[in-house]
Amino acid sequence: MNLKSSLKLLRPLHGTHGNAGAKTGKELMLYLLNAFPLNWSAESLEKLSAFVRRMGKIEPFFEGHVERVCFYALNFGKFIGLSERELRQLYLAAFFHDAGKVSLPPEILRKNGPLAPEEFKIIESHPTQGAKLCLMFGPLEEISSLVALHHEKLDGTGYPNGLTGKDIPLLARILAIIEIYDALRSERCYKGAFSLQKSLEILRAEVLAGHLDRELVYEFVRFGQSHVGHPEILKEDFFRAEKESATLSAVRAESDIATGSVESSGSEVQERPVTVLVAEDDPDQLEIIKTILSQNRYRVMVAADGEEAMKQLAQEPVDIALLDIMMPKMSGLEVCRKIRKDPRQANIYVILLTALAGAEERVGGLELGANDYIIKPFYLPDFSARIRVGEKLIHERRNMEKRAAEDPLTGLYNQRMFEERLRHEFERAKRYGRPLSLMMIDIDDFKQVNDQYGHHWGDAVLREIARILKEKTRKSDILVRYGGDEFTLMLPEASIAVALQTADKLRTEIKAAIFRPDSGPSFSVTVSVGVSSTLAGNYKDGAAFLHDADAALYRAKRKGKNRVESRVNDEDAAAS
């Protein structure tokens, strides 16, 4: 694990996707209004909406930059404990920090190469222009100074006023860090996206040069690794270039070892991870959500629109569907409706992700069968908590299904589960022409064990036989306590010859088991086994397949017990 992977929360929040999923401005407007509703007049809202549409056209990567900076402002602000008023001001300032660029010449904003001194002078005017625009909208007056000062530097070399130290407001110092970090990580007309490691190195250099607030940068890095990072990265060495390499090398080595041990020792835990389908047409939002879910060990599938989501749902089982309402081709609401109409998908936990904050949209989604909704921009702990609620319900349902499908005495599947698996495995074997063998196993004279030694010893025999069967069969085999003293064993991809050989080995192992009651002599038991195979008979369905194995079992009983029989045995005997 390197520095990049240890700060996963910071990793995806960058604009390497350009403006591929650009909206008409409606969703960007909702992104503004949802987080901190203000008292806008109808006239002001109309003007603001028109202005936000203009903002979205400033430069190709502008919308993604605004959404990500707002995401940082909301989540980092809460992380460091800003008051509600400070959080609102920081968020709104993040939204409008580059608003002044609407007044600048597009040819300068979109220039691919370095800016000439006179062109950079024009760029330097955008904070002042943005502050003036904020003053035009009443509710935004309180953030005009933050917009004006977000390019100031602690040593006085920033613009437009050359302020120093604490003369720069706290929120402006925070906004400077967020804005610089995202600009480094984002693709722009004049540069590609920098790596996480290089971006953090530049932030550190800015601190050492006296441009950025040291403590705030420290907290920002701590915010980035708060869920999965390594605390050693946050020592003061992070800001000392000459010691950085040795410190990080040690951290990476230790992290790699830890990660490897988790992966190798956690195979049982990861056997059935919760699968989350994320359907989101905004590539930046999709990458953010995917990384948040992946670091929590969910199995994540992604879709860029509703039609793709439906294809994914048809191909693989999904536990949680996280659906953006506003998507091309098919909306999230329509996907939700189709999910709820399909009995095979009845247990999917559906969460709607939306910038539409109105009660009508929320109620409409819930009436269609959605379990929950998350409003953009989302607060990370809230997002994670809602996902965990779905995960908890999924695990509870799985446990109930497991208990319903499990024989409590032996821990094997019960007859109900056997019937489901038999139908599935039989259809698969017939469709692809693959072998499937089936054993019916019955304990000989089991009633005598109960009568002579008591039912508790009868239970002990059943448990021991179940243990032997589990221990001596493959993980892919399907083992069931069929009822009373009978077991069944399905062997996918096993020919009749392999099944007969396996059955005889199991019969021998069971016969060798010795039971020693507290009083009375020790005893052993034997079993009779009937075997059938899909390649040895032309069965119309699973019931006929099972009947053949059962008939073979009763032949074994009639021929003296403690033996294995099958149709093949019978046919060979008749031929001779």
Annotate 225-258 with three-state secondary structure.
CCCCCCHHHHCHHHHCHHHHHHHHHHHHHHHHHH
Look-up: residue for tokens 């589990």? Answer: 470
Share of the chain above pLDDT 90, in %: 40
In this predicted model, which residue has the larger pLDDT, 576 or 31?
31
What pLDDT score does 6 carry? 36
91 and 145 assigned to the same domain: yes
Dist CA 448 CA 498 (whole Å): 32
What pLDDT score does 355 carry? 73
389 and 498 assigned to the same domain: no
CATH number for the domain that contains residue 309:
3.40.50.2300
What pLDDT score does 461 carry? 96
451 and 565 assigned to the same domain: yes
Across the range 520-545, mean pLDDT stands at 92
User: Is 155 domain-assigned?
Assistant: yes
**End-to-end Cα separation, the chain, in angstroms:** 68
User: Is 282 domain-assigned?
Assistant: yes
Dist CA 376 CA 107 (whole Å): 32
- Give the least confident one: 112-126, 245-259, 427-441: 245-259
Dist CA 441 CA 479 (whole Å): 11
- Widest CA span in the chain: 106
What pLDDT score does 21 carry? 38
Dist CA 367 CA 380 (whole Å): 26
445 and 534 assigned to the same domain: yes
What is the extent of the structural domain holding 317?
Answer: 271-405
Tokens standing for residue 227: 């869920």
User: Is 253 domain-assigned?
Assistant: no
What pLDDT score does 483 carry? 87
Dist CA 220 CA 214 (whole Å): 10
Neighbours of 213 (CB within 10 A): 21
What pLDDT score does 34 carry? 65
Across the range 159-177, mean pLDDT stands at 94
* Element containing residue 478 per DSSP (H, E): strand 478-483
72 and 175 assigned to the same domain: yes
In this predicted model, which residue has the larger pLDDT, 309 or 49?
309
Across the range 421-440, mean pLDDT stands at 91
Highest mean pLDDT among 9-18, 60-69, 183-192, 272-281: 272-281
What pLDDT score does 416 carry? 85
137 and 112 assigned to the same domain: yes
Across the range 146-152, mean pLDDT stands at 94
394 and 420 assigned to the same domain: no
Mean pLDDT rounded to a whole number for the chain: 81
Query: Of 387, 405, 423, at which residue does a domain stop?
Result: 405
What pLDDT score does 1 carry? 32
CATH number for the domain that contains residue 454:
3.30.70.270
Number of domains in the chain: 3
User: Is 209 domain-assigned?
Assistant: no
Across the range 496-521, mean pLDDT stands at 93
Q: Which residues of 31-62 are buried (b: 16+ CB within 10 A; e: fewer)?
A: bbbbbbeeebeeebeeebbebbeebbebbbbb
Dist CA 152 CA 179 (whole Å): 12
Checking if the pLDDT of 36 tops 80, the result is: no
What pLDDT score does 362 carry? 66
351 and 430 assigned to the same domain: no
What pLDDT score does 508 carry? 96
Whether the predicted model's global pTM rises above the 0.75 cut: no
User: Is 262 domain-assigned?
Assistant: no
User: Is 254 domain-assigned?
Assistant: no
Angle between helices 380-405 and 415-432 (to 10 degrees): 100
298 and 320 assigned to the same domain: yes
What pLDDT score does 344 carry? 86
Tokens standing for residue 404: 């319903």
Q: How confident is the model at residue 30 (pLDDT cuts 50, 70, 90)?
A: low
What pLDDT score does 513 carry? 95
Quickly list DSSP for 277-301. Answer: EEE-S-HHHHHHHHHHHHHTT-EEE
Across the range 272-289, mean pLDDT stands at 85
Closest to 302 in 3D by CA, of 290, 294, 311: 290
What pLDDT score does 65 carry? 83
| pLDDT tens per residue across span 452-496 | 999 999 999 999 999 999 999 998 899 999 989 999 999 999 999
Dist CA 349 CA 327 (whole Å): 19
318 touches 351 (CB < 8 A)? no
User: Is 9 domain-assigned?
Assistant: no
424 and 400 assigned to the same domain: no
Checking if the pLDDT of 78 tops 50, the result is: yes
50 and 129 assigned to the same domain: yes
What pLDDT score does 198 carry? 84
Query: Of 405, 438, 473, at which residue does a domain stop?
Result: 405
Across the range 235-239, mean pLDDT stands at 40
The verdict on whether omega for the bond into residue 283 sits within 30 degrees of 0, i.e. cis, is: no
User: Is 187 domain-assigned?
Assistant: yes
In this predicted model, which residue has the larger pLDDT, 441 or 252?
441
Query: Of 202, 220, 255, at which residue does a domain stop?
Result: 202
47 and 179 assigned to the same domain: yes
Checking if the pLDDT of 86 tops 80, the result is: yes
Checking if the pLDDT of 42 tops 90, the result is: no
Closest to 550 in 3D by CA, of 356, 418, 420: 418
Neighbours of 135 (CB within 10 A): 13
Q: How confident is the model at residue 309 (pLDDT cuts 50, 70, 90)?
A: very high
What pLDDT score does 110 carry? 79
Dist CA 534 CA 539 (whole Å): 7
Q: How confident is the model at residue 328 (pLDDT cuts 50, 70, 90)?
A: confident
Tokens standing for residue 175: 């906004």
CATH number for the domain that contains residue 142:
1.10.3210.10
What pLDDT score does 37 carry? 67
147 touches 131 (CB < 8 A)? yes
In this predicted model, which residue has the larger pLDDT, 42 or 543?
543
| pLDDT tens per residue across span 240-271 | 443 443 433 433 333 333 333 333 222 233 35
